[in-house]
A and B are shown apart, each in its own frame.
Chain A
Amino acid sequence: MSKSSDGGIDLTRPKIIGAPVQRLEDPRLLTGHGKFTDDVKLRGTLHVALRRSDHAHARIGTIDTAEAEEMPGVVGVFTAELLDALTRPVFATSKMKDYHATPVRALAGGKVRFAGEPVVAVVAQSRYLAEDALAGIEIDYTPLEPVVDPEEAAADNAVKLHDHLPGNVLVARRFGVGDVEQAMGDAPIKVGGRFRFHRKTPTALEARSYLADYDQGTRALTLYASTQVPGIVRDALVEVLDMPGSKLRVIAGDVGGGFGGKASLNPEEILVCALSRHLGRPVKWTADRVEDLISTSQSFDEIVDAELAVDQDGTFLALKADILGDVGAFSIYPWTAALEPMQVAGFLPGPYRVPNFSANVRAVATNKAPMGPYRGVGRPISAFVLERLVDMAAKKLAMDPKEIRLRNFVKEEEFPHRTGSGIVWDRSGFTECLERAADAINYPALRKRQAEARADGRWLGIGIASYAELTGIGSRLSAAPGMPINTGTESATISVDSSGAVTAHFGIASHGQGLETTLAQIVAEEMGVRLEDVEIVQGDTSAVAHSTGTYASRSAVIAGGAGTLTARTLRGKIIEAASHLLDVDMADIDFADSLISARGTNKTMSLRELARAVYSQMGSLPGDIRAKVDLQASEFYDPHFGTTTSATHLAAVEIDPETYEVSIEKFVVVEDCGRVINPMIVDGQVHGGVAQGIGAALFEEVVHDVTGQNISATLVDYVIPSAAEVPSMEVHHLDVEAPSTLGGYRGMGEGGTIGAPAAIANALNDALSHLGVEIMELPMTPERLFQVISAAQDGEAESS
């Protein structure tokens, strides 16, 4: 990276960008002094408990709240009748044609559409008392036929969830390139089948929590929210509550993880705001874990019928897929129902040359919690399907899985490469990642060890998964297809105040990524100040005029770019002011480690002295200069498109032939994520993503029974991996070629979750290949393994 050309930075100085600096947010979090939403205490706060629907699909008759209203400590009991009068419904709109939006409302009215949907809110002096009063509510439901199976839901004669819509299919689309049918017909080798990725839930350890504080004096409302997207929530509330943005502020303080589960507008956010304004008191709601598991947006629920055609030498000829996404009861705001299933199709061609491609995508509503983003969005499914197909083809050709991938990767000279789904890859180390991962795990030796283990009757398998994703997406593309919200730009404002302190304001919202640290690293280095002198303000809609938040691996790239530009502008102003104050040429000013000095002299100046001269000592600068060197700057950054991040995951697993328990012996990740700002944080992101991918592959599944009840609503039933199940991992970073993003950064927050399920699925398949088993479904719990192995053995017994 060349920096000297534009920033005038001394290249001999130790770098802050790229260093494993300790995180600035850690001391407060390590000592119990973080401020998560539920930690915020306001005088006179009232607490909400929700009576949620216990039917998946039913008409709401009379609601009798009389008894609840009389219970101790109860201030009020509210239903949709009042909430609909206090708010306006909001719709996730889309430019996509034939898309059907559904309303987001605070409480269900008329009908309930999933078990767990909020119907009645009790407001009381304490949460204990509010929960007590839930028992005093009588709701008269007329049950309707639950729509649970996505294929049945998509049928023409299916029971409808939304009476005003033509059916349950909320969006359908077909796209591709070339002539797939022709290519398939002519191809010598075809592999394929039905793949099933079962429903997950992001499960941040902090459940969702909201506290609304309406100030009657100023008519202003502040929402403290555990959200990834304070800007999106603020802008939606402006419409919902019909208030100007200047009177509405959303603050996401410390947020206990998100992973997409806190990246949408939720009914409870609307509810506490409307009730606080109505009652003139602060109103808080914090989900308990069961509520979180049944009502937070869920994810990754797809059925994919896919087929890959290859030539005798392993060259990919055609790929086609039919994708059915079960998007639950509503089209999530603002991402829409299109987000997840469309992304599955969009990324299906992967890092390979696929000359003929077609995908048919449908998003279908069912009586389940709405589907929203979860780390990786769609791509864990695309990688699972494609990488399984690639291994199936390799097996048919008796070719090594590594070899067939190398043969089909987009090659160095072929970048930029447009995939069959229209995504453009800029240069990324597809080949390099796989080669390096194979080296790191010593692939040939591992294969040898596998052969020996197999001879001993052990079930050892090796799985490869390579993928590519688009990160840091600019304004020319939408983070969700057709969504009318701009997610591609960021602005930053940095000021030196009258005491000489540096404060940088951003529109993003960190929820564990350590962005206070990484953005401070960028600002410190680009400006020339010490890391500890930079204060980062983020997660607060009052910080910048327009913001959305943190999602889609965008923050380091886009906010980092805005921070870079702003820091450079402000540095220029500081140098100009200093040259007047120290009476030397601008070219002779050094500014590093927060100290200004005139080269070749012993004249120095601290930022505090400079600020005093600029702000307070009138006459220290000529008037025209003073106007020019105001010590603040604001710049805007738009990467326009985005950049490719790619990786290979390599897993070695062993299955216990008695218990079907899976142990992951080795897990290697090699990724090309561009220039690393803080290697420690990047490693942490990969580890966390892989752990979630392992959960998706082996344990996690939201299960609904035939009546639509969620029967996995505790952490005993929805199993997320603990330290005992997650292996030690080896992570390597490549920086193959600087992308066009400012600073050379690529996004990398989600990748771990994209590659791991596919790598593990392939490893399981490899471990069982001698039994004729194909892994077509995730998660592969011991019970499912037992079923697929028994089925294969039965099949064999019958045919022999």
Chain B
Amino acid sequence: MADKCRVRITVNGVAYDQEVEPRLLLADFLREDLDLTGTHVGCEHGVCGACTVLLNGDSVRSCLCLTVQADGAEITTVEGLGTVDNLNSLQQKFREHHALQCGFCTPGMLMTATDLLSKNENMSDEELREGLSGNLCRCTGYEHIVNAVRAAMNE
């Protein structure tokens, strides 16, 4: 086992100062070390997007990122959006439009959509679908997800 490295990472506004193995994936750091299990791992090879989080405001795949690479960064995970009693507007739109079934892809979808919406004002459906195409959902057929993100965009 390699020596541990010290990382200082802010997650959802909380500052952490921790020793981690250099090989520890950011996804595992969030899920196992911080117990933030809202970030899901669907493939571990960068295709499904379930593990998407925001790193300094940009969406990244936490299964392709080592924890040490995130040293000094600000991370937002799904737990950093609204709460069960107070969903944020994107989460609310997902609920109203039935944009989730099993909910496994949902945290990644929400983080990707948050990133998309923060950078683009007016996306056509085609652009929206393209923007979401890096996140796989096996349940919904995407129709309701597109509707929800469009509704959030138009709000």
* Chain A contact residues, CB within 8 Å of chain B: 20, 22-23, 25-36, 38-39, 41, 72, 128, 203-207, 254-257, 259, 288-290, 511-514, 680-681, 683-684, 686-692, 714-716, 720, 722-724, 726, 728-729, 752
Contacts and interface: CB of A to CB of B under 8 A. Distances in A.
B83 interface: yes
B104 A205 contact: yes
Interface stretch (B3-11, B54-62, B64-72, B134-142): B134-142
Contacts of B129: 723-724
Nearest to B37: A39
A512 B105 CA distance: 11
Contacts of A724: 129-130, 133
Contacts of B95: 22-23, 26-27, 30
From A20, A256, A289, residue with most partner B Cβ within 10 Å: A256
Contacts of A33: 38, 79, 84
Interface residues of B, number: 62
27 contacts: A22-B98, A23-B98, A25-B103, A26-B94, A30-B78, A33-B38, A36-B104, A39-B31, A41-B35, A128-B24, A205-B48, A205-B102, A205-B136, A254-B103, A256-B42, A289-B43, A681-B98, A683-B143, A684-B101, A684-B139, A687-B144, A691-B140, A692-B138, A722-B132, A722-B142, A723-B145, A728-B143
Contacts of A290: 45
Interface string B21-34: 10110001001000
A289 B42 contact: yes
B151 interface: no
B15 interface: no
A30 B37 contact: no
Contacts of A41: 35
Contacts of B98: 20, 22-23, 680-681, 683-684
B138 A720 contact: yes
Majority DSSP secondary structure for residues of B touching A: loop
Contact of A723 (B45, B91, B133): B133
Contact of A691 (B31, B39, B100, B141): B141
Contacts of A203: 138
B99 to A, nearest CB: 9
Nearest to B35: A41
A32 B24 CA distance: 21
B125 interface: yes
Given A203-B138, A205-B137, A687-B140, A728 B125 contact: yes
B78 A690 contact: no
B1 A72 contact: yes
Contacts of A256: 40, 42, 102-104
A30 B134 contact: no
Nearest to A729: B143
A674 B134 CA distance: 36
The 9 closest A-B pairs by CB, nearest first: A32-B38, A29-B103, A256-B104, A687-B141, A512-B102, A691-B141, A39-B37, A512-B101, A32-B78
A532 to B, nearest CB: 13
A686 B135 CA distance: 20
Contacts of A715: 43, 45, 47-48, 136
B58 to A, nearest CB: 19
B63 to A, nearest CB: 10
B142 A726 contact: yes
Contacts of A752: 141
Name the residue in A27, A259, A689, A714 with the highest tally of chain B Cβ atoms < 10 Å from its Cβ: A27
Contacts of B132: 722-723
Nearest to B83: A31
Contacts of B141: 684, 686-691, 726, 729, 752
Given A687-B144, A722-B134, 20 more contacts: A30-B78, A31-B84, A32-B36, A32-B107, A38-B37, A39-B31, A204-B102, A205-B137, A207-B42, A289-B48, A681-B98, A684-B101, A684-B144, A687-B143, A688-B139, A691-B142, A692-B138, A714-B43, A715-B136, A724-B129
